[in-house]
Amino acid sequence: MSLRAKLTLGTATAASLLLLAGTATAAQPGAPGIGDPYYPNAGNGGYDVSHYDIRLNYQPASDTLSGTTTILAKPTQDLSRFNLDFLLKVSSVRVDNKVAAFSQSGGELVVDPRGTLREGSNVTVVVTYSDVPSSYAVDGYTSWKRTPDGALAIDQPDIAPWWFPSNNHPTDKAKFDISVAVPTGVEVISNGTFGGTTQQINGWTRWRYRHVEPMATYLAFIAIGQFEIRQSTAPNGQPVLNAYSERLGADYGAAVASIERTPEVTEFLESQFGPYPFEAQGGVATPGIGFALENQTRSTYDAAFFRRGSNTYVVAHEVGHQWFGDSVSVKGWKDIWLNEGFASYAEWLWSEHVGEGTVQENSDFVYASYPADSPFWQVLPGDPGAANQFHGAVYDRGALTVHALRAEIGDEAFFRLLREWPAAKRNGNATTDEFIAFAERLSGKQLDELFRTWLFTPGKPAVAPGATGFAARAAAVTEPKSFKKIQETRELLAGHQH
């Protein structure tokens, strides 16, 4: 080789080394939070999760949870390290089968893969852990709920950090496989399609569930304890799994009479919102949570919802969330009214369907129920603040906003909107601004003033939505048959803020 060739090769090699060095120094740590203004530490930056495989063992007697979570993800930048949201004690982390360094502090699991994870590459992360979830609190609150016969991993906006490491924000949805081994005779309920049980040689039984549609981490749940499980098939052919705690006592009959109608409620809401967006249906009734939550495919209800008899309104609310909140999730928690306003409106639609009060009657009565000087009107559903995220105004004034929109654009455009919005945003996320723009395009109307009045302006709007001459007849408004049950539901639904 000539000297010139050697020099040329040497120059090229040096340039390559410089290029590689430059590329290596470009790798940066992923952000420790998504940037949500209500919860700055929620979620993490630098990667996108596609799948969680959660394989656990749970001992009710000691509240010990152990096992592994395998995370499939793609870096969205060249990553030198990344965070997972997690509270429990970790024993090991592997990244692409190599032992990784890690540290834990303040609910953050910081992982150093000992090398650069390239943008767009396929990454497998395996986290092994064992701990007592009920021993952890964040801001004085423990989302994990230990019960006399097991535990409930159910809460909003945070539950995942108490039982699996994750990118814990609605903007990073993923598919899930969840399996939990428990002592034989204990039941486990989770999301999606039930995959059966396997008897283990140690006197334990493993329960398996798979959910094939993307899901936000706070909607993933497990209920462990003594449950009666009922399986059936919905009219659309989907599997239905309902579960009833053996601790329901006198509330058992009313809970069954309500939750067993989930396929009927779903079928009705499909006529309003379009095809049901998931592959399975069902519900869980249990004491010990104090609220209901729209866990994806399998909403969970506190026994108190059925204390005064059957309650299909809470079922309509949580099933309505499967479109509004689960399939179409918020991009930021300040847009929570997009979840709660439409789920509350689903109750009013169901009320009209079963002949217990029209949508207009429910709207009129809610509007008349809060006097102008009530603090209710000072909470702004469009940006309520973290402390008021689940305030009654987010639910009721949110539903009034939906009805005001219906009155403004007319029924033809409105019911098109109810179907086309969740179809356009299916399995995605949305903001209030995006919804307003969508409604304006579909209706051909300018709607800024309407939404400004109902979502962002303190005080009681001067005119009730959709009610011509309402002020003249306000004193004569009568309570719809459905209203007491809906209000009971609302008080419990709004009672889980923390």
For the chain, the three-class secondary structure string (H helix, E strand, C coil) is: CCHHHHHHHHHHHHHHHHHHHHHHHHCECCCCCCCCCCCCCCCCCCEEEEEEEEEEEEECCCCEEEEEEEEEEEECCCECCEEEECCCCEEEEEECCEECEEEEECCEEEEECCCCECCCCCEEEEEEEEECHHHCCECCECCEEEECCEEEECCCCCCHHHCCCECCCCCCCEEEEEEEEEECCCEEECCCEEEEEEECCCCEEEEEEEEEEEECHHHCCEEEECEEEEEEECCCCCEEEEEEECCCHHHHHHHHHHHCCHHHHHHHHHHHHCCCCCCCEEEEEECCCCCEECCCCCEEEEHHHHCCCCCHHHHHHHHHHHHECCCEEECCHHHCHHHHHHHHHHHHHHHHHCCCCCHHHHHHHHHHHCCCCCHHHHCCCCCCCHHHCCCHHHHHHHHHHHHHHHHHHCHHHHHHHHHHHHHHCCCEEECHHHHHHHHHHHHCCCCHHHHHHHHCCCCCCCCCCCCCCHHHHHHHCCCCCCHHHHHHHHHHHHHHCC
pLDDT of residue 26: 87
For the stretch 175-234, pLDDT in tens is 999 999 999 999 999 999 999 999 998 999 999 999 999 999 999 999 999 999 999 999
Flag whether pLDDT at 156 surpasses 60: yes
Flag whether pLDDT at 498 surpasses 80: no
Q: Per-domain residue ranges for the chain?
A: 24-138+153-218, 226-323, 329-496
Average pLDDT over residues 381-401: 97
pLDDT of residue 25: 54
Average pLDDT over residues 327-351: 98
Pick the CATH number of 226-323 from 3.30.420.10, 1.10.390.10, 3.10.105.10, 2.120.10.30: 1.10.390.10
Average pLDDT over residues 113-135: 97
Average pLDDT over residues 76-103: 98
pLDDT of residue 466: 85
Flag whether pLDDT at 20 surpasses 70: no
What average pLDDT does the structure give for the chain? 92
Average pLDDT over residues 65-88: 98
For the stretch 218-253, pLDDT in tens is 999 999 999 999 999 999 999 999 999 999 999 999
pLDDT of residue 484: 60
Does domain 24-138+153-218 fall into CATH 1.10.3720.10? no
Flag whether pLDDT at 397 surpasses 70: yes
The CATH fold of domain 329-496: Neutral Protease; domain 2 (1.10.390)
> Of 21-30, 262-271, 486-495, which gets the smallest average pLDDT?
486-495
pLDDT of residue 491: 66
